[in-house]
A and B are shown apart, each in its own frame.
Chain A
Amino acid sequence: MRKAEQIPSLMGRGARQVIVILATLLSLFPIYFMIVSAFKSKDAYMANKWGLPTTLNFDNFATAFSGGKFYLRFANSIILTVGAVGISLMIACLAAYAFARMDFRWKRSLFNLFISLMIVAPVVLIVPLFVTMVQWNLVNTYQGVIFIYTGLMLPFSTYLMTNFFRTIPREIVDAALIDGASNFSIFWRIFMPLSAPAVMTLIVVNALWVWNELLIALVFLQKDELKTLMVGIAALRSRNYVDIPATMAGLLIATIPIVVLYLFSQKYFIRGLVSGAVK
C-alpha cells in the first residue's frame, strides 16, 4: 500500500498507473490474506493477521482434510460439474445447429426466448422445482440436480454455440454436401471439430458456474454425504468457534481447481464472456 504516498509527485500517466496498482492491490488482498492465513498456526494468526507467515505451517491442510468429509464434498462437486457440463454441452450444440443452419417457424421468437431465460434467477424456480422433485423422488439425487443445472445452463450455452456456428463458412458445408454427407454427419464431423474453441469456452464458463453454485445444491442435496464443497464451506460460517487458518486452508483448496482451469484457458474464457456482450 506504500505506493499511495507517491500520488502527489506523479502526474498524468504516473497517476493512472498508481490508481490501477491500488485497484490491483485491493483485488488481490483478500486472496493474499486467504493464502498467508492458510499457512499460519492459530497462534501465529492471532499475533500477526495480515503479515507473511514466519514459518510455513501445513497442519491446517491436514485439519481441513481430516475426517474425510472434504474428499467426499470435493467428489460430489466434481460429479455434478462433469455431469451437468457434459450433458448441457451436447444438448446445446444440437439446438444451436438448428438455430444456426436451418429455417423453421418461430425461429426468431424461440431464440429470443432462449436469450430471455438467461437472466431468470434460479431462486424463482426453486420452490416449484422442489415440489416437483419431491413427487418424482429426485431430491437428494445427483440426477435431479444435474438435470436442473443442465436446464439452467442451456440458454447461454445455446446462444454461444449458435453465434459460433453462424461463423462457419457455407463453402465448407457445401463441399461436404457434394460428398453426400448427411446433416447429422455435417454436424458431427464438421461443425463440432471446428467449434473446439467455442466448446472450450463453454466448458470453462459452465464448469465455473456449477462449481460455485450454492442455492440449488443447498436445497436439493440435503443429505450429508451428498453435500457439495460450496455447501460445506458455507456451513462453516454458522459455527460459533471457527479455526480461521484451517478454514482458510479449506477455502484455498476449493479455489485451486478454478484458478487452474482459468489460467489454462484464459483466452477462451474471456472470449466467451465478451461474445455475450459485444459483437
Chain B
Amino acid sequence: MKYKKWEPWLYLSPALIALAFVFALPVLRLIVLSVQRKSKGEMIFVGAANYTSLLKDDVFLEAVGNNLYLLISVPIMVGVALLLAIFLFEGIRAWRFYQITLFLPFLLPIVVVGLVFSYIFQLSGVLNEFLTAIGLGRFALDWLGSTKLALPTVMFVVIWKEVGLGVILFLARLMSVEEELFDAAKIDGANWWEMQWHITIPQLSMAIEFFTIISVITMLSWVFNYVFVITAGGPGNSTMVTELYVYLQGFRYNQMNLAAAASMLILAVTIIIIFIQFRLREGQAGWEEF
C-alpha cells in the first residue's frame, strides 16, 4: 500500500486529539492541582502538603485498606470462574443455557444490581426473611448495617456480578484448545486433577492472567458504582474506598486539591500495574506479527 509519510498521522489525528484532551492534559493538570492549595481565592504552591495530609487522614487510610481488602475477591473470582468454565466445558446438559445465564449479571447496570441487592440484604430484607423461614434465624444478620459485615457484603455483590466475565473468557479459550491434548492425557491415564493441572491451566494461562489483572484493577479503581449505590461508604467509613474519597473530597467537600492528590496515588498504582502487565507480556505473541 502506498501512502505519504504524513498520511498515517492524518488518520490518527482525531484519536490523538481526543486522547490529549481526555487523558494527557488532565493528567498534567492533576499533577499541578495536587501540589497546590487554595488560599484567599488564589492557588498557591504547597509542595507535598496535600500528600502528607492524605497520609494523616484516617478516612483515606481506611479507604486504601478497604481497596486492599477487596483484593481477597480476586483469587475467589478466578477460582469460581475456572471451576464453572471447566464444568461447562466438560459437557453438561444445556450448557449453552447456563453460559447465557451465568453471564447475565455482568451485563446488568451496577446501579440496578446494587439497588436490588441492597433490598435483598436489608435487615428486614428477603435474605433474612428466608433464613428465618428455614429456621436459620440466628444467621439473619444486619448485612449492610454492621461495620464488620458491610464490606464483605459489598464484595459478594462485586464477585456475583464480575465472575461471569471470567467464565465466558475461560470457556471461549477452552473451546479453542485442540482436543488431541485432552485425548492424549486420557490415554496416558491422567486423572481429573492431573488433567486440569497439566493441560487446562497451562492452556488457559493467558486468559487467567488477563482476568486476574482486570480483576485487580477493578478492586483497586473501579468499585465506585457498587459502593456509592449499596452503602455510600457507610456505616461509618467501613466501606469507604479511594474512588469514593476522591468524589466526596472533590465534589461534596470542595477539597479539589486533596482529591487531586488522592487521584495521583490511584494513578500511580495503575501505572505500576500497567508496568507489571507489560513485563508479563514481554516475548509473548502480539506485535511480532506486524
Q: A215-B225, A219-B247, A277-B207 are in contact. Are A262 and B274 (CB under 8 A)?
A: no
Contact indicator A158/B11 (Cβ below 8 Å): no
Known: A214-B225, A215-B225. Contact between A262 and B11, CB under 8 A? no
Q: Are B15 and A120 in contact (CB under 8 A)?
A: no
Q: Nearest Cβ in chain B — how far from A6, in angstroms?
A: 14
Nearest residue in B to A21 (C-beta to C-beta)? B98
Asked whether B15 lies within 8 Å of A92 as measured between CB atoms, the reply is yes
Contact between chains at B120 and A254 (CB < 8 Å): no
Is A196 in contact with chain B by the CB < 8 A criterion?
Answer: no
- The answer to whether A158 touches B15 (Cβ under 8 A) is yes
Residues of B contacting A175 in the complex (Cβ-Cβ under 8 angstroms):
none
Give the CA-CA distance A21 to B12 in the complex, in Å. 48
Within 8 A of A (CB), among B220-234: 221-222, 224-225, 228-230, 232
- The CA-CA distance from A79 to B15 in the complex, in Å, is 21
B23 contacts which chain A residues (CB < 8 A)? 117, 120, 125, 151
Residues of A within 8 A of B136 (CB): none
Please, how many residues of chain B have a CB less than 8 angstroms from a CB on the other chain?
Answer: 102
User: Smallest Cβ distance from B19 to chain A, in angstroms?
Assistant: 6
- Of the candidates A27, A126, A218, A273, which one forms a contact with B169 in the assembled complex, judged by CB atoms under 8 Å apart? A273
What B residues does A230 contact at CB under 8 A? 109, 111
CA distance A230 to B112 in the complex (A): 8
Secondary structure type dominating chain B contacts: helix
B69 part of interface (Cβ distance < 8 Å): no
Contact with B along A63-106 (1 / 0, CB 8 A): 00000000000000000000000000011101101110111100
Q: Is the CB of B270 within 8 A of A111?
A: no
CB-CB under 8 A for A20 and B117, given A27-B104, A127-B246, A258-B109 = no
Contact B101 A277 (CB under 8 A): no
Shortest CB-to-CB span from B211 to chain A, Å, is 7
A23, A129, A255: the one within 8 Å of B102 (CB): A23
Cβ contact within 8 Å between A24 and B115: no
Stretch at the interface among B71-79, B145-153, B255-263: B255-263
Closest B residue by C-beta to A24: B101
A112: which of B30, B165, B278, B285 is its contact (CB, 8 Å)?
B278
Instruction: Tell me whether chain A's interface is mostly helix, strand or loop, or mixed.
Output: helix
Seen from chain B, the residues whose Cβ lies within 8 Å of a Cβ on chain A are: 1-3, 5, 7-9, 11-12, 14-16, 18-19, 21-23, 25-27, 29-30, 33, 80, 83-84, 87-88, 90, 92-93, 95, 98, 100-105, 107-120, 125-126, 129-130, 160, 164-165, 168-169, 172-173, 176, 206-207, 210-211, 213-214, 217, 221-222, 224-225, 228-230, 232, 242-243, 246-247, 250-251, 256, 259-260, 263, 266-267, 270, 273-274, 277-278, 285-287, 289-290
One of A16, A30, A99, A238 near B117 (C-beta < 8 A): A30
Shortest Cβ-Cβ A-B pairs, 10 listed: A151-B22, A121-B221, A128-B29, A95-B15, A128-B26, A98-B11, A277-B210, A212-B109, A104-B8, A98-B8
A150 touches B18 (CB 8 A): yes
Cβ of A99: which chain B residues have Cβ within 8 Å of it? 12
Question: Is B27 a contact of A215 with CB atoms below 8 Å?
Answer: no
A259 in contact (CB, < 8 A): yes
* Least CB distance, A264 to chain B, in whole angstroms: 12
In the complex, chain B residues whose CB is within 8 Å of the CB of A123: 221, 224, 242-243, 246-247, 263, 266
Residue of B117, B120, B217 touching A119 (CB-CB under 8 A): B217
- Specify which chain B residues have a CB less than 8 angstroms from the CB of A91 in the assembled complex: 14-15, 18
- Is B116 touching A102 in the complex (CB atoms < 8 A)? no
